[in-house]
Amino acid sequence: MRTLDDLLAEGVRGRRVLVRADLNVPFVKGQPGVIADDGRIRAALPTVTALRDAGARVILCSHLGRPKGAPDPAFSLAPVADRLGGLLGAPVALAADTVGDSAHGVVASLVDGQVALLENLRFNVGETSKDHGQRGAFAAQLAELADAYVDDAFGAVHRQHASVFDIALHLPHYAGGLVLREVEVLRRLTESAQHPYAVVLGGSKVSDKLAVIQALLPRVDTLLVGGGMCFTFLRAQGHEIGRSLVEDEMVDTCRELLERAQGKIVLPTDVVAATAFEADAGHEVVPADQIPADRLGLDIGPASVAAFSDALAGAKTVFWNGPMGVFEMPAFAEGTRGVAEAIAKLDAFTVVGGGDSAAAVRALGIDEDAFGHISTGGGASLEYLEGKDLPGLAALHAKEH
């Protein structure tokens, strides 16, 4: 696999370099265009800066959200271009389309060391098409804009999309520093993790994490389960969970996992039970096996935080993916905060597995430098740990035509 360093050694001055970044940032709810967390933009800066400083004409591309293959102002990358320009200290020109007249014009106007951004890739139906011909045609159009391709979008490498997979068939291609670092970290988690090895999983659904639980359970010493997914496990133990989130079809699976785990799986002992899924809802801490029938659990409780912290003490490797509760609402953020702070204090190799976990670290004001690594790709990280082949990584190993 060729790397960004290889490309820089070849020389990039005057060359057009297409960089697939993951700039899929969240917006503040109810405030379209107001970026809630710019972590993914900041993560792209080292590769962009290295290319810019070496004299490349940098063409960034990314998706944002899930538009339906056509332009949609709600998913425009314009706010991202503005924020990126502010961080770089230089304007970033935004093309009004992906491969049309505007894209060609913006790219043609670049001079050495300048940066441009194409509009949302998913405004073109070819980006995510299941039809290989349609997807390949879009990749070929993207390739016309550039002389080389760098994939620095680890958060998208599990997608067989035109800008991630097919593009590598058309251009000399290289892995960006962010992708290389993510692969290095995940390889360490799967192949050479130091024990005791603890995994903390949260989020809403067991079904989303089932494959990674099955893959990691034989390798880890402790698996702590919080978030909405814990209630399906609690139901599997026969407990009353009130109106809490539950996947009825996963109860038997959870029961089997608990039996197979032989004590490795640790569940909450208390939860914050609320009268409604609302920020100002009435709530109280109750035992995890005695949730009132008219309430729903929205966070793990303080005794659970203490128990999880104790279970993590002494760990040498920790992987955390998924919040412990609805951290976006202050009343239900303390479980996530407590567990995050416990992980941050460890003398261990600690990995935050992207997605909502990474967003929670920043939203709750926890020092990012206290963790060994904060991933930019939640779904991609999980699929790697599951042992799946990731199309974007396979493409980087392939030869272009």
Q: Is 76 among the annotated ligand-binding positions?
A: no
Catalytic: 372?
A: no
| 355 is an active site residue | yes
Amino acid at 107: V
Q: Which of 15, 16, 20, 40 is catalytic?
A: 40
Is 255 one of the annotated binding-site residues? no
Of these residues, 2, 188, 205, 316, which one is catalytic?
A: 205
Cβ count near 391 (within 10 Å) = 18
Phi and psi at residue 287, to the nearest 5°: -60, 145
> Residue 276, SS3?
coil
Phi, psi of 55 (to 5 degrees): 90, 10
Q: Looking at 355, 377, 378, 392, which residue is catalytic?
A: 355
Residue 14: active-site member:
no
Q: Hey, is 194 helix, strand or coil?
A: coil
Task: Give SS3 for 110.
Answer: coil
* Contact between 326 and 339 (Cβ < 8 Å): no
User: What is the rounded CA–CA span in Å between residue 95 and residue 77?
Assistant: 10
386 annotated as a binding-site residue: no
- Residue 209, annotated as binding a ligand: yes
**63 appears as a binding residue in the annotation:** yes
Residue 173's beta-bridge partner residues? 149
Q: How far apart are CA 399 and CA 280, in angstroms?
A: 56
Distance of alpha carbon 172 from alpha carbon 400, whole angstroms: 6
Annotation marks residue 243 as catalytic: no
The residue annotated as part of the active site, out of 69, 177, 372, 379, is 379
Cβ atoms of 156 and 132 closer than 8 Å: no
In angstroms, the CA 152 to CA 146 distance is 16
Please tell me the distance from the alpha carbon of residue 161 to that of residue 148, in angstroms, as a whole number: 18
Task: Give the angle subtended at the CA of 384 by the CAs of 129 and 226, to the nearest 5°.
Answer: 105
Output the CA torsion sign for 83, 86, 87, 93.
positive
Task: Please return the burial class of 298, using the count of CB atoms within 10 Å of its CB with bins 0-12, 13-18 and 19+.
Answer: buried
Residues identified as active-site: 40, 205, 355, 379
Binding residues for ATP: 209, 297, 328, 354-357
Binding residues for substrate: 22-24, 40, 63-66, 122, 159
Binding residues: 22-24, 40, 63-66, 122, 159, 209, 297, 328, 354-357
